């Protein structure tokens, strides 16, 4: 499992994240506070607080995780 932080500040960011997440066959969880939602669920992502960074738990290989982070681009925060 690989973890990194993202910021989904707009509805377009949520849609982009969800679209990219659905291109992977592994599980992707997004954690915000004490809530954990499926990263492939647009309804789940919309229910999170978008004013603060969220943690992504990517349950795939290192290569898949690196490709996913690269595709997310500016959504990833360090």
Q: Where are the domains of the chain?
A: 2-77
The answer for residues whose C-beta is within 8 angstroms of residue 73's C-beta and 6 or more apart is none
Residues 2-77, CATH architecture: 2-Layer Sandwich (3.30)
Mean predicted confidence (pLDDT) in 46-70: 94
What are the backbone dihedrals phi and psi of residue 26, each rounded to the nearest 5 degrees, phi first?
Answer: -95, 170
Please report the pLDDT score of residue 78 as a whole number.
78
24: which DSSP letter? S
> Using one digit for the tens of pLDDT, what is the confidence trace for 42-53?
999 999 998 899
* Mode of pairing for the β-strands spanning 76-77 and 2-6: antiparallel
Among candidate residues 61, 57, 9, the one with its CA nearest the CA of residue 35: 57
Q: Express each pLDDT in 12-42 by its tens digit.
A: 999 999 999 999 999 999 999 999 999 999 9
Confidence (pTM): 0.92
């Amino acid at each position: 499992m690989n973890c990194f932080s993202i910021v989904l500040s707009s509805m377009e960011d949520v849609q982009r994240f969800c679209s990219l997440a659905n291109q992977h066959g592994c599980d992707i969880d997004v954690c915000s506070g004490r809530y954990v939602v499926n990263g492939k669920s647009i309804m789940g992502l919309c229910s999170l607080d978008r004013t603060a960074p969220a943690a992504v738990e990517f349950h795939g290989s290192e290569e898949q995780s690196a490709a996913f982070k690269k595709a997310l681009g500016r959504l990833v925060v360090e």
